[in-house]
Amino acid sequence: MKADTHPDYHTITVQMTDGTTFQTRSTWGKEGDTLVLDIDPTSHPAWTGGTKQLNEGGRVAQFNKRFGGLSLKKK
């Protein structure tokens, strides 16, 4: 391998949203830096089973609002 082509791989501290920390190796930051997470598996709805954010103002919602009362039945 060529020398000096790979990034520096060092130990950092990761702080979760609940305040717990752990150490891991990464190319992020410098040796001993702390990475503070905004979203992690303990707080993200995808992992916690929380409610999904629905796009209520989307194109389908606008269509249904405008044409929802129409039917194809003959009167």
Q: What pLDDT, in 10s, does the model give residues 32-55?
A: 999 999 988 888 777 777 765 555
% of the chain surpassing 70 pLDDT = 84
Residue 75 pLDDT: 59
Spell out the residues 6+ positions from residue 37 whose beta carbon is closer than 8 angstroms to its own. Answer: 14, 15, 16, 17
| φ/ψ of residue 33, rounded to 5 | -65, 160
What is the maximum span of the chain, computed from C-alpha positions, in angstroms?
81
Spell out the residues 6+ positions from residue 17 whose beta carbon is closer than 8 angstroms to its own. Answer: 37, 38, 39, 40, 42, 43
Residue 34 pLDDT: 97
Tell me the pLDDT of the chain averaged across its residues: 84
